[in-house]
A and B are shown apart, each in its own frame.
Chain A
Amino acid sequence: MKARVTITLKPGVLDPQGRAIQNALGGLGFEGIAGVRQGKVIELDLADGTSEAVIDAMCSKLLANTVIENYRIELL
Chain B
Amino acid sequence: MKDGQVGVAIFAELDEGALVRVSLELASKARELADRLQTTAGAYLLGGPGIEAAAAELIAYGLDKVWVIEDRRLHHYDTLPYAKVLVRLIQQTSPLAVLYGATPIGRDLAPRIASQLRVGLTADCTGLEIGDYQAPGGKEYKNILYQIRPAWGGNTIATIVTPEHRPQMATVRSGVIKLGDKDSRRKGELVRLPADLDGAEFILRVTERVSAVRKVDLTTANIIVAGGSGVGSKENFKLVLQLAETLGGSPAASRAAVDAGYIDRDYQVGQTGTTVRPKLYIACGISGAIQHRAGMAEASKIVAINTDATAPIFSVAHYGIVGDMNQVIPRLIKAYRTKG
A binds B: no
